[in-house]
Every structure is written in structure tokens, then in C-alpha cells.
Amino acid sequence: MSIASYVPYAQIVSSSAAAIGLFFTAWQFWRSRKTTTLQNLQEFFKSVIEREAALAHAADGDKKRHAFVEYLDFLEVYSAAVIGGLFIGVAKELVRDKLIDSIITLERAPQWHDEIQKSVTSVVAYKYLIEFSAKHKKVLDFRRQHPSMIAGTSP
């Protein structure tokens, strides 16, 4: 047999190797995405805890107000991330749930309502937080009516 007669076999082998390589690359991408999602979730919950702790432990009025505005900004960023589709699957569900709980907790804290108004400095301030609230109005209404559904509360 001449070398030319082996060309079809070489093409089959190289095509098979390319397909296997493509499959392996897709599998690695899928695993990497899952790892990244977990890291993003861990970072989100770590940041929530830090922001809530900073607010709870702020000593005076100015530090407390600063911590509160940072918390609102944090909620705004993650509302934008959920609306923008940056989270998917379980990550989206968990972040969405925490945002809803946070919104209801803020609604139930009248001492902060004036500070929320003061922190609105433009027409786009908290745009995504407002959009998130509108988009999840039914869930927010349900949780408002059922306080035991909010994280950190007992029935």
C-alpha cells in the first residue's frame, strides 16, 4: 500500500481526535463555569455578611449612614447582576432570595426610610433595585403577607 492509501484513515483518526478534544474542552468549560458560580456565590454571601455586620456595629450616625448607603449600593449591584443575567440556576435563585429578604427587611425598618430618600442623588440611583422590586412584585407581596418566610425570622 502506498502512503496515499492511508490518507482517508489519517483523516478519520484526526477528525476523531478533534471531536474528542472538543468534547474535553466543553467539559472543562462546564466544570470551570460551575466552579466560578460557586466562588461568586461564596463572595456574595461573604459580602452580605460583611455589609450587614458593618451596619450593625457602626457606632455613630455618620458611620452608620455610610454603612447603610454601602449596603444599598451592594444591593443595587447585585440587583443589576440578577437582572442582567449574570447569575443562572441555583446561584440566581439564592441571590434573588436574599435580595428579596433584604428589600422586605428595609421596608420594615422605618428608621432607614429617610436615609434611603437622602441617598437618592439622581434619577438612576437604585434603578436596578427598583426594577428588581417591580419584577419580583408577586414574591415580595407574598412574603410581606407571610413574615415567617423571611430569612432570620421564626414562625
- Per-residue pLDDT band at 151 (split at 50, 70, 90): low
The domain locations on the chain are: 41-149
pLDDT digits (tens, 9 = 90+) for 21-52: 888 887 787 777 778 888 889 999 999 999 99
Of residues 72 and 9, more confidence is placed in: 72
Question: Which long-range contacts does 138-147 make (Cβ < 8 Å, 24+ apart)?
Answer: 139/100, 140/100, 140/103, 140/104, 143/100, 143/101, 143/104, 144/104, 144/107
CA pseudo-torsion sign 139, 145, 147, 148: negative
User: What are the pLDDT digits (tens) for 67-115?
Assistant: 999 999 999 999 999 999 988 888 999 999 999 999 999 998 888 888 8
pLDDT at 28: 80
Which position has the grid cell 440578577? 82
**Average pLDDT for 2-7:** 80
Would you give the DSSP letter of residue 3?
G
The answer to whether residues 67 and 117 touch, using CB atoms and an 8 Å cutoff, is no
Reported as a single tens digit per residue, the pLDDT across 127-141 is 999 999 999 999 999
Place of cell 428595609: 106
Amino acid at 138: K
pLDDT on residue 150: 60
Quickly count: other Cβ atoms within 10 Å of residue 65's Cβ. Answer: 16
- Residue 155's pLDDT band (boundaries 50, 70, 90)? very low
